[in-house]
Amino acid sequence: MAKKLHIRTYGCQMNVYDSERMAEALAGRGYEQTEDVGEADLVLLNTCHIREKAAEKVYSELGRLRELKAARPGMRIGVAGCVAQAEGEDILTRAPMVDLVLGPQSYHRLPELDRALATGARLVETDFPAEDKFDELPERRKATRGPTAFLTVQEGCDKFCAFCVVPYTRGAEVSRPAERVLAEARALVEAGVCELTLLGQNVNAYHGHPGGLAGLVRALAEIDGLLRIRYTTSHPNDMDDALIAAHGEVDKLMPYLHLPVQSGSDRVLKAMNRKHSAAEYLAVIERLREARPDILLTSDFITGFPGETEAEFEETMSLVRAVGYGAAFSFAYSPRPGTPAADRKGQVPREVSMDRLHRLQALIAEQQRAALEAMVGREVGVLFEKPGRLEGQMAGKSDHLHAVHVQAPASAIGELRRVRITEAGPNSLAGVLV
């Protein structure tokens, strides 16, 4: 009888990819995935540690799992991902119901760890192993897949932004060799995928191809059946000439880019250790728009970074107005233990950070509405992924990553179709097939 595996994923797209690979690693141990946590023999929480609330959600979930495990003594619970890497053995102390703590660089060891769990062991595996986990993982399953997929090409970060835990939880920058990425991409396309999003903590620092990320994108574009390519997340300092040129020259590379800036103040950027100025960031944006005039840009922002003044916050607002974003992720600063900014003087009062956040989000929402409304009357490509909420409706993503709903046959799922946009909603678009 197959054992049941339940994986709950928190945080970024890379964790979504990691969860898929963990399930594949455990398939050889006889595990089948289940959405019903109540029937699971092994529960894995694949965690994010970027913000305090994300970590606390994990402990809240562990509290709920305590009673479930008490009713099912054979259940095993694991905490994987970045919270596991950051907190290690402290998790076993704080949450005694946990059997396994597994860092993001070690999930290829899950089969042997599962054997040890069967003996009643409680395990912490948070070392950065010498072997490449991607070499140790089984080949991707050949099962039919949906039209879109994530593909990790790079991990870790060497930038050491003062607010960020990633260099400590994911380690130094490592790039997968291009031939292995291409082999995995071909297998995904054979399984039904026609859009790939390349993932990395600092994906445009990728160096597994002689031409960098631009070279990898151009090689992927040669794969028959792969219709669309995206990548995330990037650092402004690694937007080189070749990658900017690729945005204008590679048709399969979509006109969408998430390029975090965090602040519009040079002093705050220096305090964050971002190693670029607001003017340098804006120059990159200008070059991108020269290469691809219709590119839609999104970004990340932090309000209330230690020492941020009202005037410096207004510099951020000015930068947002200058760029005109299609969307953005924005957060009030929260200290992450072990990061350089956590113990700095000049911590901004929470109510001030939140007030600035609300003002920033209002401006970004205004720009997002304008970007959506500007699509009305245009023709765009839409890759249909699933049925919509209404009968006869299909839902998909446009070239610019907007959600689009269209009356279309169910057979359209997995197809890239031309759509004329007829209506803009608060967060999505409606259209008709051309």
Q: How far apart are CA 265 and CA 277, in angstroms?
A: 8
Q: What are phi and psi of 31, to 5 degrees?
A: -90, 140
Spatial CA neighbour of 249 closest among 288, 304, 211, 195: 288
Quick check: 81 and 47 in contact, CB under 8 A? yes
Q: How far apart are CA 237 and CA 280, in angstroms?
A: 9
Nearest-10 crossing angle of helices 13-27, 110-117 = 60
Q: What are phi and psi of 150, to 5 degrees?
A: -95, 150
Quick check: 184 and 129 in contact, CB under 8 A? no
Q: Residue 157: what residue type?
A: C
Distances 220 to 196, 250, 257, 370 between C-alpha atoms, Å: 9, 10, 18, 33
Sign of CA dihedral 129, 130, 132, 136: negative
DSSP string, 109-124: GHHHHHHHHTTT--EE
- Number of other CB atoms surrounding residue 251 within 10 Å: 10
Confirm whether residue 194 is marked as ligand binding: no
**Distance from the Cα of residue 331 to its chain's centroid:** 16
Spatial CA neighbour of 227 closest among 197, 248, 256, 257: 197
At 35, list the tokens: 């959405």
Helix (H, G, I), strand (E, B) or coil at 198: strand
At 280, list the tokens: 């340098």
CA geometry: angle 304, 310, 315, nearest 5 deg: 90
CA atoms within 13 A on the CB side of 348: 23
238 burial type by CB count under 10 A (0-12 exposed, 13-18 middle, 19+ buried): middle
Sign of CA dihedral 373, 376, 379, 381: positive
- In the annotated binding site for [4Fe-4S] cluster, the residues are 12, 48, 82, 157, 161, 164
Residues annotated within a binding site = 12, 48, 82, 157, 161, 164
